[in-house]
Chains A and B, each alone.
Chain A
Amino acid sequence: MNVTRDFAPPFSLIAPFFLMGTLFYFLSIILLFFLQSDATLSQMQTIGWVHLFLLGFVMMIIFGAMAQLVPVVIEVGHAAVDFFYIIWPLLTLGTLMMVTGFFMAPALLPYGGMLVLLSMVIFAADLFATLRKGERRSIVVSSIKASNIFLLLGILSGFIMALSFGGVVDTNPETWLKTHVFAVFGGYVLLTIMGLSMILLPMFGLAHGFSDIPMLWAYRLMLSGVSMVAVGSLLLLDLLFYAGVLGVIGSIGSYAYQIYLIERKRARKENDIWVKSLGVAFVSLAVALLLSVVYLFSGIERFMMSGGWFLMMGFVGFLITSHLYKIIPFLVWFERYAPLVGKQSVPMLHEMIPLREATMQLYATTLGLFGVGAALLLHSNTLLYAGVSILCVGGAFLLYSVYTMMQYGKEVL
């Protein structure tokens, strides 16, 4: 079955996800000025920042990307594409209320949590209904299915925690914390990224003829790892929990090997902004894994904080920003120039990227990333705020680049 133009959601539906996601990215950098270099995971400000970054930036962009990519992967149109018009406002409002709740008003947490929950249930409802329509089976489709089950598990456990923080229900949030963290970050974010990588990296890099066995193992290990973590932590079975953690680490390792196999078969050797950003992402992943191993052996929290930083801002952050330079030009081109092919001259996708600003974004954000990572290791506030200042410059360039790409060719309409 072909993917017709009718299956593609209109640009007006997807654009707010990318714009809001980038705004939240910038906002999350600004909010780092309110944290200390010796921040811990138990502090409400740290948790607030993590939610701002993950919900406002990561989830927002993933949802927008999925709106575009799901019809391509499953080869059917969305079951209810109009749902996406309400997902981003709900997610935006819910994120803002939750972050405010974490920083200054815990009573807002259940309300913000409810809005976030609603946005994600709507997203998952469309996705499952769309999956039922499709007949195509692949490791990518399986990953998307499993990741959305984990999303539901993650947000339900998170919502219970939000009710607890807000004083609505009497339960120990610590009981749900591990399930929440692993289900959302490992089960949803990482598994989704892994699945989409299998589509996007070979497509943009023109890689063919590689084995996808490592991805199959990454999928199985993540599935079993997160499940074991959830059962182990809820039933207080430490052995099961640690076996689950090992499974998740093994999954990430297997995924990294899959990326290596794809990279080896990449026919397109050009080092554009996408490749360079991906390079920073995977170096960050290696640094994060290294710091995590040091933490597991030493128990010193600063290694975990720095490792977590490199995993989130470095790996996930750069993986997403790299694809903004591919996905946004494509969406804009598809909307404004595809109908003009054969009738008049149309631009190439790379011509739609503001190269100078994008390069500045890459350099500044990379410098800031390593500056903050070092500051968290050394507990140096001076280094932290210097790093955050540079990150701000990078974030501003990203905002400018995204806006410019979205405006490209507006006059042709």
Chain B
Amino acid sequence: MSHITKEEVFKAISTVIDPEVGFNLVEMGLIYDAVIDEENNVLVTMTLSTRACPLHQMMIQWVEEAVMKHTDAASCKAEVVWEPEWSFDMADEHVKEKLNQFANR
């Protein structure tokens, strides 16, 4: 079993889309870090765009499932933190541009 990288973990998590805004969690800047130990156990540190997110538990589950499905991780645990608090500045530039458009829908 090869040792997986942080990039692979982030790539796996980028398959998880927030159904409200339509962007994945990585480009939203919601994934803070991923630590992978010698045995490929993954610990993802993430946050949510709001503390009152009704999808809180589901998001954690989706992240863990995505990592397990798309990488060779032996296990994956996602942990939600509130410090630092997420802000719009943490999102990728193209997300900011898209959300900042005064589009009509």
Tell me the A residues contacting B by CB distance below 8 Å: 2-5, 8, 68-69, 72-73, 199, 202-204, 206, 208-209, 267-273, 330, 333-334, 337-338, 341-342, 346-350, 355
Residue of B19, B20, B55, B69 most packed against chain A (CB within 10 A):
B19
**A203 nearest CB across to chain B (Å):** 5
Q: Which of B56, B87, B105 contacts A209 (CB 8 A)?
A: B87
Tell whether, in the assembled complex, residue B86 and residue A208 are in contact, meaning their CB atoms are under 8 Å apart: yes
A355 to B53, CA, bound (A): 25
Could you write out 12 A-B pairs with CB less than 8 Å apart?
Answer: A3-B57, A5-B57, A73-B52, A203-B52, A203-B53, A204-B20, A206-B88, A208-B88, A269-B99, A271-B103, A271-B104, A334-B58
* A348 and B22 in contact, given A208-B86, A267-B99 (Cβ under 8 angstroms): yes
Q: Judging by beta carbons under 8 Å apart, are A199 and B57 in contact?
A: no
The digit string for B15-33, where 1 denotes a CB below 8 A from any CB of A, is 1110111100000000000
Compute how far the CA of A337 lies from the CA of B56 in the bound complex, rounded to whole angstroms. 16
Q: How would you classify the secondary structure of chain B's contact residues: helix, strand, loop or mixed?
A: loop
With the chains together, A5 CA to B57 CA distance in Å?
7
Q: Enumerate B2-44 residues with CB–CB distance to A below 8 Å.
A: 15-17, 19-22
Among candidates B21, B55, B56, B62, residue contacting A206 with C-beta atoms closer than 8 Å: B21
**What is the minimal beta-carbon distance from B66 to any residue of chain A, in angstroms?**
6
Q: Is the pair A3, B20 in contact by a Cβ cutoff of 8 Å?
A: no
The answer to whether B21 and A342 have CB atoms under 8 Å apart is no
Name the CB-closest residue of B to A200. B52
In contact, A206 and B49 (Cβ under 8 angstroms):
yes
Produce 1/0 per residue, B58-90, CB < 8 A to A.
Answer: 101010011001000000000010000111100
Judging by beta carbons under 8 Å apart, are A202 and B62 in contact?
no
* B residues with CB within 8 A of A: 15-17, 19-22, 49-50, 52-58, 60, 62, 65-66, 69, 80, 85-88, 96, 99-105
| Chain B residues positioned under 8 Å from A334 (CB to CB) | 54-55, 58
A349 CA to B58 CA, complexed, in Å = 16
- Closest Cβ–Cβ distance, residue A398 to chain B (whole Å): 18
Of the residues A267, A270, A330, A346, contact of B54 by C-beta under 8 Å: A330
- Selected contact of B20 from candidates A5, A68, A209, A349, CB within 8 Å: A349
Contact assessment for B88 and A269 in the assembled complex, using a CB-CB cutoff below 8 Å: no
**B100–A348 touching, CB < 8 Å:** no
Contact B20 A2 (CB under 8 A): no
- Chain A nearest CB from B6 CB (Å) reads 21
Which chain A residues lie closer than 8 Å to B54 at the CB level? Answer: 3, 8, 68-69, 72, 330, 334
Docked Cα-Cα span, A271 to B102, in Å, equals 6
Report how far A348 CA is from B18 CA in the complex, Å. 8
Closest to A350 in B: B105
Pair A199/B52 contact, Cβ less than 8 Å:
yes
